[in-house]
Structure 1
Amino acid sequence: MDGLRYRLTLRLYRADKSFGPGPMRLMQGVRATGSLQQAADQMGMAYSKAWKTLRQAERELGFALLVRHSGGAHGGGSALTEQGRAFLERYEAMVREVDQAAETAFQKYFPE
């Protein structure tokens, strides 16, 4: 079974898909750059799609993930809300833990 590998994707649900890798990457980009536009650009995603993705996640989760600042002399920007930051940190920690558990199981059942 040369080259055998696995792939897991962690998604959280309420009524619909609430949060997963896409919103996580957008939020990580906003955390790093202070801009949803830049985060979307880094992912090769249209700003309108990034905005829609995070708005949907906010509706499903029931709280704001980002605070947005309109343009002006220095342009606009975005930042994570306190609740959004805490949620992202918990999700990132869960992904790391699930990835570690999956790797352990994979090595146990497919050690070749």
Structure 2
Amino acid sequence: MEIPSFKLNGRIWIEIDDEKLLGHGRVELLERIHASGSIRQAALQMKMSYKQAWDLVNHMNNGFKHPLVISKRGGKGGGVALLTPFGQEIIAQFKDLQQKFFQFLEESRKK
């Protein structure tokens, strides 16, 4: 009987007190905010409500020791949302961790 080939898979979540704080989707939201300068535009691009995106940003900002996104209310021209340097560092660290995780999965598959 031949053993079927298999593939290991998984996702990384950063949790604090059993609450999910950061994962792939939230990193994508942060990257889209950084690219567009807008929580609303990032939400539209990800096909989620502005309220959901705003709630996720608030949750992340409150969960880390420093904010990841700073937003300024707009007037006639609209507001702006900026990824902080700390937010950029968190994204880089998450992507590094994710890459190491994928390498681990690939190496485990080969054994």
Same fold, TM exceeding 0.5?
yes
Match of 1:17 among 16, 20, 30: 20
Q: How many residues align?
A: 107
Provide TM-score, normalisation by structure 1: 0.83
Q: Secondary structure at the match of 1:70?
A: strand
The whole-number CA distance in structure 1 between the counterparts of 2:94 and 2:7 is 23
Q: Hey, what does 2:51 align to over in structure 1?
A: 48
The answer as to whether partners of 2:9 and 2:105 remain within 8 angstroms in 1 is: no
Q: Secondary structure at the match of 1:45?
A: coil
The whole-number CA distance in structure 2 between the counterparts of 1:76 and 1:6 is 43
State how 1:28-47 maps to structure 2 within 5 Å: 28-47=31-50
Match of 1:63 among 66, 71, 75: 66
The whole-number CA distance in structure 2 between the counterparts of 1:59 and 1:22 is 18
Q: CA deviation at 1:60?
A: 1.9
Provide TM-score, normalisation by structure 2: 0.84
Quote the RMSD (CA, aligned, Å): 1.6
Structure 2: stretches of 5+ with no match in the other structure:
none
Q: CA deviation at 1:40?
A: 1.0
Structure 1: stretches of 5+ with no match in the other structure:
none
The answer as to whether partners of 1:14 and 1:61 remain within 8 angstroms in 2 is: no
Structure 1's consecutive aligned runs of 4 or more residues displaced over 4 angstroms after TM superposition are none
The whole-number CA distance in structure 2 between the counterparts of 1:104 and 1:31 is 33
